[in-house]
Structure 1
């Protein structure tokens, strides 16, 4: 894991393998403009660093990276200039997400280096947090199953120009480290192959972390699920040789006045069941537990940060397989809530496990429930790969969740729950069916989940099917593979609740 440190040294004076500076697209001319933090490095270039970069073709565009040898007067042998995109308006600082992406781009490029000095804007704690989390997330690599792991991740990211003795700056660096650690915990879980990450091993990982961080954990095994009447989780998991689990992991604060419940879809592998997925759709289905990974990581992060809010995570874990005991299209399941559901498509399984967990979470009457799930391909078709959809039973809460996600750099979009679609999953056999009309499938999934929320409880649903797993190349601080989508949003919601400005 890359270490994050703060340094009062000037960027040019810090001994490191490289020094990272930021450049923006200048408003008045085509060449790059140096961002704050690069002053001492620019001085070593005789004030001509920006001109040198322009000669080399740099423009300051987002994601652009230029390496040049350092001159005398810079202790590091290499200067890495990374693009920040458009220059901020007069009187405004750089956008935190631009800093995160730039730091992540640089950290990935510096794999193999022992130490890098990040001379990006860091005059305020929020900027330190943005640069820190971007660097730590950008340095992430998953190599657990590789004999030749290549270059090691960047060893240390030192943010220069910060104030390590200032409590606010120190706290910002600690938050960045905690958030990055937990996003990377979620990434590790998502990237773990499904033969090793099963419902039982996932539950064991939660139990181990609960012991380490003082969390309370309860696990319902297959016998307890039968006794409790969790027909949705059992119905999805009954085709697999590995039995399902329901896991509750809770962080409590003695100063808490509010409580949150986070519910995560944890399908450790999704074959589609009897409604088998077509070729080309199975290869990445180890990522179908990304929601549960995000919830687990968010609870741990809340505990490590000591937030004054009670946070309970519910992980609905199952493997959706087409074994001889699998649920068939046409079967009717009796859910934990008592409702019956006719299963028309066994590949619409996430809503079944979530329904049981949502009903169970509702019994504790939290101030709000937020569920997270790689739920529908329809949401990817609607919003693309890079953003998640947000639905809620309260418009103000949906707006607040959306604003929180954007502030954390997690692209998202508010989506409706049209009541007119509700009748499309009426069933002549059961209380409801698990499928409605094909068009608007992401919205229908949200409407289905709403059926299992306790009366009077505020609820939001995050469909992270698009951003949870990156099948393209790494960019900014986002790696190829598991991304840890929604962890930062959930932690920010917990922090805002603790601060009294959300619920």
Structure 2
């Protein structure tokens, strides 16, 4: 397992396999960023190499150099920070996070790695530690998947998943604040890696029941006391959860709602997180085209983010009561599948007309929001890969945030920024509510194509308890990276949302 520690020792003297330092783009060509702490002969050598390989110092550029004079580490990795000077001491946290992640991705098979990037304050130190841990991620196939065919391959996989010992050189000292920041990065990193593993697991191995089992297993192995309860298909029918049972009725794998609870003594706040967990989305009877199903194992990324955030909050012993609701179902076509024009009754008694069985996420979330509201938490946030409209509007890196309270919505957007996760505030125009009117039920679950992200948010708002601040985070784009890795983000499941939720919970700690 990847580990993190902090030091103020001279970087050149650290006996690591690899030392990571920053490179920058200057008007005179590439150069070393501040914070490296290297002797003159090492600096001259590295400057010559950067010039010789025509490096640029741009983000995501990584150059590895071996046998650097005056450096104990076997090799030095130079990771790009973008525009800068040899005297610049501070860089945006997202730049530091990405540079650390890009560097560690190239050397994650090493046993020990030290990073000497510019860290003039605790926030910069935290960003470097967070990015370094994130860059070490590889999908852990040892859990649900069958054993590999050869012992040699198994051994290699275990070595890769073990991760390096990472030491971050701190320019902000080695006091309690610095140590706490690095310790937090390790807890967050491990939780986010778990979320990534869940998203990357093939859907024939991760379905509602096995997802629930994975949560119980991880909670029981945690150092914190996390309680887990599961509503199976019979309990869901008996409890009036018509939204999630309707979505799941076409599958051989019946739905579940998993509740995870962290209950510290004398909590300063009580909050609820609700996650969409469609373990595979075929679209149901409104079936998706073949290409539209390729990444649909990621349609449970919201639930994975919620599960990981509850775990991290508990393991950090935050003085906030956190309850996570994982709304798990598989959306499949069959003779028992839900039909367009069906009417179902939600947990709170609201009748809903189904217009498009491929708009299933809002139905499972609606029931989850009802359940969360019954406990009257101080606030509720739901997270979901909900609409293609979010991707059209904001792309694949930025989540859309909607809410019933502008101040609380701003808190969520700010938390995302602090966590290095892109988010943008979106409105919920009241005039669009009429798109959800229907003579057949209390509400239709979908409007027309225009403003699809917003009408989905308006639908969800209907199931939030009166007076409870609520925000909805649509992560349809950033939850899954179909392209190559970049910065601290791997290919596949990204774990997007875990950092935002944890930061938001921390903000309620007083």
TM-score class, shorter-chain normalisation, is: over 0.9
Count of aligned positions: 496
SS of aligned partner of 1:207:
helix
Match of 1:345 among 338, 348, 356: 356
User: How far did residue 214 of structure 1 move?
Assistant: 0.9
SS of aligned partner of 2:187:
helix
Does 1:304 pair with 2:315? yes
TM-score (norm 1): 0.95
Corresponding residue for 1:201?
210
Match of 1:410 among 421, 429, 450: 421
The within-5 A match list for 1:65-80 is 65-80=62-77
Match of 1:474 among 485, 505, 510: 485
Match of 1:114 among 89, 105, 111: 111
SS of aligned partner of 1:391:
strand
User: How far did residue 339 of structure 1 move?
Assistant: 0.6
Match of 2:179 among 170, 173, 180: 170
Match of 1:60 among 53, 57, 63: 57
Match of 2:160 among 152, 164, 167: 152
Match of 1:421 among 432, 455, 462: 432
User: How far did residue 88 of structure 1 move?
Assistant: 8.1
How far apart, in 2, do the equivalents of 1:37 and 1:88 lie? 12
How far apart, in 2, do the equivalents of 1:208 and 1:407 lie? 30
Contact 1:10–1:161 at 8 Å: present in 2 too? Answer: no
The within-5 A match list for 1:435-450 is 435-450=446-461
User: How far did residue 170 of structure 1 move?
Assistant: 1.3
SS of aligned partner of 2:508:
helix
Corresponding residue for 1:140?
137
Match of 2:228 among 217, 236, 243: 217
User: How far did residue 46 of structure 1 move?
Assistant: 5.6
Corresponding residue for 2:7?
7
TM-score (norm 2): 0.93
Gaps of 5+ in 2: none
User: How far did residue 192 of structure 1 move?
Assistant: 0.7
Corresponding residue for 1:394?
405
Does 1:250 pair with 2:247? no
Contact 2:89–2:118 at 8 Å: present in 1 too? Answer: no
Corresponding residue for 1:16?
16
Match of 2:276 among 265, 271, 290: 265
How far apart, in 2, do the equivalents of 1:341 and 1:478 lie? 38
User: How far did residue 164 of structure 1 move?
Assistant: 8.2
CA shift in 2, pair 1:452/1:139, >3 Å: same
How far apart, in 2, do the equivalents of 1:143 and 1:247 lie? 23
SS of aligned partner of 1:23:
strand
How far apart, in 2, do the equivalents of 1:181 and 1:46 lie? 35
CA RMSD of aligned residues (A): 1.9
Corresponding residue for 1:25?
25
SS of aligned partner of 1:313:
strand
SS of aligned partner of 1:281:
helix
How far apart, in 2, do the equivalents of 1:167 and 1:78 lie? 30
Contact 2:379–2:470 at 8 Å: present in 1 too? Answer: yes
User: How far did residue 35 of structure 1 move?
Assistant: 2.0
Contact 2:34–2:88 at 8 Å: present in 1 too? Answer: no
How far apart, in 2, do the equivalents of 1:48 and 1:208 lie? 50
Contact 1:6–1:163 at 8 Å: present in 2 too? Answer: no
